[in-house]
Amino acid sequence: MRNNARKNIIYSIILLLAVFIVFLYRQNQFGNKEPEPEKEGKVVITGKTMGTTYRVVYLDQHNRDFKPSIDSLLVAFNQSMSTYISDSELSQFNQQDTLAYLTEFFPSILKKSKAINEQTQGAFDPTVGPLVNSWGFGPGGAQLKDSVQIQDLLKLVGFEHIQFDDQKVWKSTPGVYLDFSALAKGYGVDLVAGYLQKEGIKDLLVEIGGELVARGTNENGELWKVGVNQPSEDPKDNGLYGIIALDNKGMATSGNYRNFYYKDSVRYSHTIDPSTGYPVNHSLLSATVVAKDCMTADAYATAMMVMGTERAIALQQQENLDVFLIYNDSTGMKTYVSEGLSPYVSYIKGEKE
């Protein structure tokens, strides 16, 4: 008994010594290291703009609230580019033939519009505004015209009717009307992202009405992941068809499955073909484009919805664009994913071709 007690004491002393040695070792290894920096905080801001909603997520260890500044920026942008505001910069130009720029937004959006108009051979054309209004998708509501009036309006469609320099913009044909709704949200997203970056924010995700820009990574150190909706006429159906990881890119989706109406049993979509003056009627359900900035993605997505599936794929190959197309064929719903985007698509519901 006495020997067992002595052994237990010895074992206890040895165990304590071992724990003490490990403690000293860890102190030596880690005790002199600087403490790890506090993990950056996640800030989420939401609001309304351009007749829709916005959501901004960013990482900032100081948890700064940029909502007032973001709201002010978006109000100024909307006051410049909205066709729904009668005294906006754009509305002033539509009411006259020449306008000296009031903001930096106007010349920037004109330059981008001209470039995409040329690259898409006119499929993207912001002078299509009178046709958009006439088919009932503008500020005035439904005012369906007959074919003769459509042909008359086509005389005012074409970006060649718009001239501009660094100081002003003017019309070479009176009566031309500009509508930048096909890329304004994308431009707004870029502006908000640019503002945050100037404030030192490196990791952010900005979304306005479904158009997005991602920079850096999320709070888990991963690329920001965003969804592509299942094409459905039911506004309550928010199911995802795919998920895309954005590597410092902008993304925009255009589709005809929600914004349409029926008249005399005929379905009219909001996408108007500038070459015919009529709403498009083809198998392409939605076009998602990923680009360096959201304004570019927004414009190309609109152009592809004008073009239809085959021409959209041809444009993708010509311009080496990153695209995710959803379309119908004789066997059902299909997808086309460009080679450059494919590694970033982590989930696809459907058949990839």
Residue-wise pLDDT for 157-196, tens only, equals 999 999 999 999 999 999 999 999 999 999 999 999 999 9
d(CA 323, CA 69) in angstroms, rounded, equals 33
Coil, helix or strand at residue 217: coil
How many H helices and E strands in the chain?
9, 16
Query: Other C-beta atoms within 10 Å of 304: how many?
Result: 28
pLDDT one-digit tens code per residue, 216-259: 999 999 999 999 987 765 556 667 889 999 999 999 999 875 55
- Report whether pLDDT(6) > 90: no
Q: Name the residue with tokens 């021409």.
A: 311
What is the 3-class SS of 137-186, one letter each residue?
Answer: CCCCCCCCCCHHHHHHHHCCCCHHHEEECCCEEEECCCCCCCCCCCCHHH
18-27, 28-37, 170-179, 231-240: range with highest mean pLDDT: 170-179
Q: Band the pLDDT of 135: cuts 50, 70, 90.
A: confident
Q: Band the pLDDT of 146: cuts 50, 70, 90.
A: low
* Residue 28 vs residue 289, higher pLDDT: 289
User: In the chain, which ranges are E strands?
Assistant: 42-49, 52-59, 98-100, 162-164, 168-171, 204-208, 211-215, 224-229, 240-246, 250-255, 260-263, 266-269, 284-291, 322-329, 332-337, 345-348
* Residue 61 vs residue 262, higher pLDDT: 61
Rg of the chain (C-alpha set): 28
User: What are the binding residues for Mg(2+)?
Assistant: 182, 298, 302
Q: What b/e readout covers 103-133, taking b as 16+ CB neighbours within 10 angstroms? A: eebbbebbebbeebbebbebbbbbbbbbbbb
- Report whether pLDDT(266) > 70: no
Coil, helix or strand at residue 104: coil
Q: Band the pLDDT of 333: cuts 50, 70, 90.
A: confident
Domain ranges of the chain: 1-36
Q: What percent of the chain has pLDDT over 90?
A: 65
Joined tokens for residue 348: 């696809």
Instruction: Estimate the crossing angle of helix 294-307 against helix 184-198, to 10 degrees.
Output: 160
d(CA 6, CA 9) in angstroms, rounded, equals 5
Cα separations (Å) of 262 from 94, 136, 141, 268?
A: 29, 11, 14, 6
Q: Band the pLDDT of 264: cuts 50, 70, 90.
A: low
Joined tokens for residue 22: 């490990």
d(CA 246, CA 344) in angstroms, rounded, equals 7
Residues 6+ apart with CB under 8 A from 70: 45, 47, 54, 56, 192, 195
Of 183, 75, 86, 51, nearest in space to 128 by CA = 183
Of 194, 183, 181, nearest in space to 69 by CA = 194
What phi, psi does 177 have (nearest 5°)?
-130, 130
User: What are the binding residues?
Assistant: 182, 298, 302
- Report whether pLDDT(302) > 50: yes
Long-range pairs for 168-172: beta carbons < 8 A, 24 or more residues apart: 168/98, 168/99, 168/100, 168/101, 169/93, 169/98, 169/99, 169/101, 169/106, 169/107, 169/110, 170/97, 170/98, 170/99, 171/97, 171/98
**CA atoms lying within 13 Å on the CB side of residue 334:** 11
Phi-psi region of 235 (alpha: psi -120 to 50; beta: other; left: phi over 0): alpha
Whether residue 136 contacts residue 261, with contact meaning beta carbons closer than 8 Å, is answered with yes
